[in-house]
């Protein structure tokens, strides 16, 4: 038996609170909250956003990152990615509407990553997904 499993209570308030936040923020198109997460010695600070918004924004980032060599033609890769992200959005929306979705992840944008006291440099808007159960601790607000 590991040290963690012997000393964890049945109710882990950290996970319970994060699941409550995820249940409020994830189904929303507009809600967001500043949050800082700690896990395995790494700190991620940013804005927690809804799942749908995350996939819309990350999809746009991926699609925009593909460069077309021919301005006259639409890139087949862009079309495929567009269809893929539309399908993800439809599946997520159906699960949200049916009430079948369990929020186990935190979706973030404008993240800054700190490891060993150093900020990991990034350019542009950065996105992050983290499994709630992987989080060691958190606080509301950004660094």
**What does the pLDDT look like over 117-132, one tens digit per residue?**
777 877 778 899 999 9
Low-confidence ranges of the chain (pLDDT < 50): 1-3, 5, 7-9
pLDDT of residue 74: 58
Question: Residue 46 burial by CB count (10 A; 0-12/13-18/19+): exposed, middle or buried?
Answer: buried
What pLDDT is stored for residue 38 in this prediction? 93
DSSP 76-133: HHHHHHHHHHHHHHHHHHHHHHHT-----EEEEEEEEEEETTEEEP--S--EEEEEGG
Cβ contact 48:108 at 8 Å: yes
pTM reported for the whole predicted model: 0.72
């Amino acid at each position: 038996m590991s040290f963690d499993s012997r000393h964890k209570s049945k109710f882990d308030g950290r996970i319970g609170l994060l699941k409550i936040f995820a249940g409020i923020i994830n189904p929303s198109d507009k809600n967001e909250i500043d949050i800082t997460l700690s896990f395995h010695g790494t700190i991620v600070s940013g804005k927690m956003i809804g799942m749908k918004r995350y996939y819309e924004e990350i999809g746009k980032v991926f699609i925009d990152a593909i460069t077309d060599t021919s301005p006259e033609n639409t890139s087949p890769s862009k079309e495929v990615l567009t269809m893929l992200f539309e399908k993800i959005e439809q599946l997520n929306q159906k699960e949200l509407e049916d009430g079948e979705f369990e929020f186990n992840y935190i979706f973030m944008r404008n993240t800054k990553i700190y490891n060993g006291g150093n900020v990991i440099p990034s350019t542009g808007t950065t996105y992050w997904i983290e499994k709630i159960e992987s989080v060691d601790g958190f606080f509301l607000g950004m660094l």
